[in-house]
Amino acid sequence: MAFEVQSDCDAAEEVKNGKTGSKTWAGNSKYRIVEAYIYWTNSNGKIIGMAACNVPASSNCVKNHASPKGATKQYLAVAVTLVKSSFEDQNIHYQYFDEIFGLSKLSHPSIHDGKAQNLHNLNNFIYVKSATYKGGALNFKAKKCREDRAKSLISGHGYFITPFGRDGVWENLYYLPDRIGQYITTPN
């Protein structure tokens, strides 16, 4: 996986690689991508092959019928955690429309923890520029964040999924499938 700073889209902090115990991860001061999964499905979305990989790169993915014949779609999914507890992991439900409130358009610094700070750095979203599997057999290239800001960024914790070789946009994944025979379930 390759990451890129996109300060126009609230992904202004560089993503770094780290290690906690024996587990590697990629992230910034707010979010960590801890694992990546590749799913092969049939035309109905039923998983017929899968692989789980360390992030940011792994040559030792744990595979279960990886690259099966007859797969019609291939997906990349990531598991994202928060670095520390925040209001995002509390049981708070809200709806924010930037078109109405316009906070992303503010250019002056805001005050956070007593220090002046650029408002765009508060979100610290992650922009995944690209990902490959098996030396390029499967490729993901991100959509430009200004074309579809809401779906081109990893903007929260949980599971996110994108099809290989298509639009380069991320969808929320309701649950992480853990075996062959389950189905991929996304909002769309």
pLDDT at 137 (0 to 100): 78
At a CB cut-off of 8 Å and minimum separation 6, what does 183 contact?
A: 41, 44, 45, 46, 47, 177
In a domain, 184, yes or no: no
Owning domain of residue 72:
2-172
Provide the domain count of the chain.
1
Q: How far apart are CA 77 and CA 26, in angstroms?
A: 14
Q: How far apart are CA 60 and CA 54, in angstroms?
A: 8
Q: How far apart are CA 130 and CA 112, in angstroms?
A: 32
Torsion of CA 163, 42, 157, 126, to 10 degrees: -10
First to last CA, the chain: 24
In a domain, 132, yes or no: yes
In a domain, 6, yes or no: yes
Q: Over the stretch 3-62, which tens digit does the pLDDT of each residue have?
A: 888 887 778 888 999 888 888 889 988 888 988 999 999 988 899 999 988 887 766 788
